Each structure stands twice: as C-alpha cells, then as structure tokens.
C-alpha cells in the first residue's frame, strides 16, 4: 500500500487547475481574443504566488496528505498501525494532557521494541498492576518502582513503522507546561499538534480544548512558545486543530492570529463547539479558512464527515484545501484510506484479524482491543457477540476463527498480560468485595438494563466526538473508564496523577 500512501491528495487539485487553464485558453481563442492578450488563468499563478512556511528538517509537510484523526480509544498504537497499513499518510495519536506527560519515563519494551512513556500508577497495588508485576520480564519495572508495582503506560509508539508519520497531539492550557511536555516526546515524533477543539467538560474546565478558542492570545502564546523552543531544538513542526466559531468573522480573526505564530499546519473540524457528532459538518467557512492559511504559507487540512480517500479527493478539489483527516470512518474500517483503484474497503474479517495481530504485537490493553474490535465487527455477526463475551486474547482469536499461528500469539499475549488462564487468582479481600457488590439491591429490570445500554452508547459517542472531533480531550477520561474492567492488564493508563488539576481537565 506504499503507493497509496505516497499519492498526494492535492495532486488531483493541481491537475484540475491545469485542465481549467487549458480550457480557458481555448475558450478565449474561440471568442476571438487577440494573440497578445494572455489568458487570465495563465497569469494568475505568477501574480498570486503564495508563500510557504519552511518545513523543519525532521518535520512533515501536511500538504497532499490524508491522515488519521486523533481519537479517544481509537487512536492507540494498533489502530494507527492499521491505518498506516491501509494507506494513511500520517497518523495522529490520542490527545495526551501535559500534566500526565511531564515527569514520565521513556523506555523501550524489551519484548516488542515499542517505545513506551510510563509513570507510577495511582493505584500501585491494583489487580492490573499485580498481574503486570507477576508476569513482566522487564527488569526495569522493579528498578523504577521501589514498591514493586508495574508502571502505567501513558503513551506507546512504534519507532520503525511510525517513523516520520506520527503526530503527537497535546492537551494543554499553559505555554510553559506545553513546552515541558513536548520536550519529553519530541525526539520520537514527527510533529506536535495542540488540541484546541475538544468541547467536552473534561477538557474545557481545565482551560484546554475548545476553551482555547475563546482565549486566542493564550492559544497563540502556546503555539509561539512551542515554535520557538521545540522546533529549533528538535527539528519538527507545530500545528493546531480547531473548530469553527459561530460567525465567519470570528473564525477568520482567530485563524489570522494563529497562522502568525510559526505553525506549519492548521486542521479545522467543520463543526462549532456546541455541535454534536451526529450533526452534519458545516463547510461554509472552509474556503475562507483555506485562503487565510495559504496567504500565510500554512497548510490547511479539513476534518468532518470525510468518508474515504476517494471522498477526500473530491473535497480537496471542491474547497482547495491541502488535505483531509478521517475519523469515524477509519474507526469502523481503516481500509477507507485505500482508494477504490487499490482495492477499496476490505471485508471486516480481514480488518479485524489484522487489527488483532497488531494489538498482540504491541501488547495493547485487552480492554482497548475489545472496544476496537466491537467497532470493526458488525453487530449482527456471531463474532461480535463472542468478542463481547471475551476476556482474553485467546477468546478474541477464537471468536475471529484465527489460524493456529495467531492462536499461539494470543496465548503468549495472555501469558505476558496476565489474562485468561494466566489471570492471577483473587485474594480473599477481593472476593469479599465482589460478594458485597452482588448483595447490594436486586438486579435491574429489563427496562432499566435497556436504558443503561442506551445511555452507555450515548456516552461512548460523546466521548469520542463521533471521531470527527478528533476525540480530543477525553482520552484520559476514557482510559480511566477502561481501567475499571475487572480483569488484570499490564498497561493500565489512568488519568493524569502528577497534578490534581490534570484530573479535572
């Protein structure tokens, strides 16, 4: 799929412009224009040559790219690898709040070769950490934790397959913290993107996400600090992801301020802050935003209801933007990054098995793997039911009718992560707690269960912003919910614990 990944989305735009210029020349000649009167379209490029912000030596140019959006849960490493496999040009990781990253430890997992950023968990003796402690082959775990608890992985990346293609999205509301957090990961990523679009209270109450849209000078100050301190030191670019404001005039004023901060790219999610994912994207301001970005030499990407590579090509031609970002469609089937000419959408069994392989290769948390498989597998398929009942990688492999090689991989993943047959037995204290929970009240009625199911589905949709919000701001919250699962897992990823304020964002 390398050819697909390297195909510039904007190439079609250039070809269309050239065709239009030829057509205009022919039409002018047919109308009787003199030989000395050159066609207007032929002189336009020279007369309106636009600047381009220089791309740092290790940075990436967003022009001509189709990219994976930052998403809650769906932006973890195996999802990014799957998107790259099917032709994504770049991938955004899930937003990580600055508090959680400052003070984190970088290590290379000796089993997988993945780079992991870790920190001491808030609950050092939870069942998950007990499993990790008992099953880990990494001697650094105990070296770094005097209490003997396994560290929590807050961010994981692949130094080979994601090299030059991973953009790290940062949640922040303070320039100094933003720089401190960016320094931790800058050497391992191709760019730093500031989240200024999340509408969730989790993010906005901390002054992050969409709250920054109402504080343009603060947002500009964060971007300027990153461009001043991170770009020269690490050779990567800085970008920002925003939402629309209520009026074109407000949006234009914001964008004009942001493109003067030294950023190399700006992504606009074509919804306002109050809009929910189920509401269709609004593209009426997109041409104006693209024009302002281009006048400053900044690349402009669009996000919002982009369905596939072929659909992105059409939108790029229509609005003249430099590229597009896919979220919800990629969560359901990442082969949407593949054009029809290269095969189009793959069948869900192929996608699900390939995702499972990536998840096992990188030791992804089983709860996250289960969640993503549930997005990929159709709800009416038998495998969907079996995956939902599964508690281990062996269960997932059986549900997907994997071959013997993958079943052996699944058993080894279970051994390392303490799942299934390798799950540590609960102690008497834990059993008593379980019994007490079971004795509290009667089981809810069928009507109550159905109501809870609907509420849970609505909550999940809001958390990931339908994918099209980039799922920004809710990642720490979603990870905390994943950790509530009753089975042990190695990579427990709680909400930030370095500073109490981080938990409120």
**Among residues 164, 161, 162, which one has the least CA distance to residue 61?**
164
Which residues pair with residue 414 across a beta bridge? Answer: none
Bridge partners (DSSP) of residue 171 are 97
Question: 105: exposed, middle or buried (C-beta count within 10 Å: 0-12, 13-18, 19+)?
Answer: middle
The two three-digit tokens of residue 367, written as one number? 């709860």
Tell me the C-alpha distance between 200 and 415, whole Å: 37
User: For this structure, is 402 an active site residue?
Assistant: no
Question: Residue by residue, what is the 3-state secondary structure of 115-166?
Answer: EEEEECCCCCCCHHHHHHHHHCCCCHHHHHCCCCCCCEEEEEECCCCCCCCE
Assigned token pair, 85: 């496999």
Q: Residue 50 CB: number of other CB atoms within 10 A?
A: 11
| Token pair for 155 | 């961010």
- 11: its two tokens: 């190439």
Alpha carbons 312 and 189: distance in angstroms, whole number: 25
Query: Torsion-angle region of residue 420: left (phi > 0), alpha (psi -120 to 50) or beta?
Result: left
- HSE-up of 191 (CA within 13 Å, CB side)? 27
The pair of structure tokens assigned to 94 is 């899930």
Q: How far apart are CA 259 and CA 478, in angstroms?
A: 32
Residues 209-240 as b/e (b if ≥16 CB within 10 A, e otherwise) read: bbbbbeebebbbbbbbbbbebbbeebebbbbb
Helix 382-389, helix 366-376: angle, nearest 10: 160
E-only strand ranges, 161-204: 166-171, 191-196
Which DSSP string do the residues of 244-304 spell out, in sequence order? E-SSHHHHHHHHHHHTTTT-SEEEEEEEETT--TTSPP--TTHHHHHHHHHHTT-EEEEES
Query: Which of 8, 20, 72, 39 lies closest to 481 in space, CA to CA?
Result: 72
**How many degrees, rounded to 5, is the angle at CA 477 between CA 118 and CA 94?**
60
Instruction: Work out the end-to-end distance of the chain between its first and last CA atoms, rounded to an integer number of angstroms.
Output: 39
* Catalytic residue IDs: 198
């Amino acid at each position: 799929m390398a050819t697909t990944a390297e195909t510039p989305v904007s190439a079609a735009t250039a070809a269309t412009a050239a065709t239009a210029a030829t057509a205009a020349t022919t039409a002018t000649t047919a109308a009787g224009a003199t030989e000395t009167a050159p066609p207007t379209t032929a002189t336009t490029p020279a007369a309106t040559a636009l600047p381009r912000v220089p791309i740092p030596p290790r940075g990436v140019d967003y022009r001509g790219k189709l990219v994976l959006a930052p998403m809650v849960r769906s932006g973890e490493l195996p999802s990014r690898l799957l998107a790259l496999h099917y032709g994504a040009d770049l991938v955004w990781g899930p937003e990580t709040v600055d508090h959680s990253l400052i003070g984190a430890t970088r290590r290379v997992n000796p089993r997988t070769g993945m780079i992991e950023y870790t920190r001491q968990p808030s609950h050092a003796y939870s069942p998950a950490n007990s499993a990790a402690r008992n099953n880990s082959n990494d001697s650094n775990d105990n070296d770094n934790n005097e209490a003997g608890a396994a560290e929590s992985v807050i961010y994981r990346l692949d130094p080979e397959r994601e090299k030059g293609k991973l953009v790290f999205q940062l949640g922040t509301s303070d320039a100094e913290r933003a720089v401190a957090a960016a320094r931790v990961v800058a050497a391992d990523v191709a760019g730093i993107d500031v989240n200024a679009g999340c509408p969730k209270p989790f993010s906005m109450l901390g002054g992050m996400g969409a709250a920054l849209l109402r504080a343009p000078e603060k947002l500009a100050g964060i971007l300027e600090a990153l461009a001043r301190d991170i770009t020269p030191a690490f050779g990567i670019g800085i970008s920002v992801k925003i939402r629309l404001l209520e009026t074109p005039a407000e949006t234009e004023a914001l964008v004009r301020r942001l493109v003067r901060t030294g950023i190399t790219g700006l992504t606009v999610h074509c919804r306002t802050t109050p809009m929910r994912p189920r509401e269709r994207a609004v593209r009426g301001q997109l041409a104006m935003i693209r024009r302002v970005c281009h006048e400053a030499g900044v690349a402009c990407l669009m996000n919002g209801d982009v369905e596939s590579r072929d659909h992105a090509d059409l939108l790029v031609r229509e609005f003249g933007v430099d590229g597009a970002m896919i979220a919800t469609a990629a969560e359901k089937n990442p082969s949407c990054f593949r054009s029809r000419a290269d095969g189009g959408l793959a069948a869900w069994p192929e996608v699900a098995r390939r995702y499972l392989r990536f998840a096992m290769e990188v030791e992804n948390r089983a709860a996250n793997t289960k969640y993503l498989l549930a997005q990929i597998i159709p709800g009416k398929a038998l495998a969907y039911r079996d995956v939902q009942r599964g508690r281990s990688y062996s269960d997932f492999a059986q549900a997907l009718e994997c071959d013997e090689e993958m079943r052996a991989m699944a058993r080894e993943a279970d051994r390392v992560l303490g799942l299934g047959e390798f799950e540590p037995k609960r102690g008497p204290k834990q059993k008593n707690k379980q019994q007490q929970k079971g004795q509290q009240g009667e089981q809810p009625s069928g009507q109550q269960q159905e109501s809870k199911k609907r509420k849970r589905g609505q909550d999940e949709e809001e958390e990931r912003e339908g994918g099209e919000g980039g799922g920004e701001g809710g990642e720490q919250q979603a990870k905390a919910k994943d950790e509530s699962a009753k089975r042990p897992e190695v990579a427990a990823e709680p909400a930030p614990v370095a500073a109490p304020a981080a938990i409120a964002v």
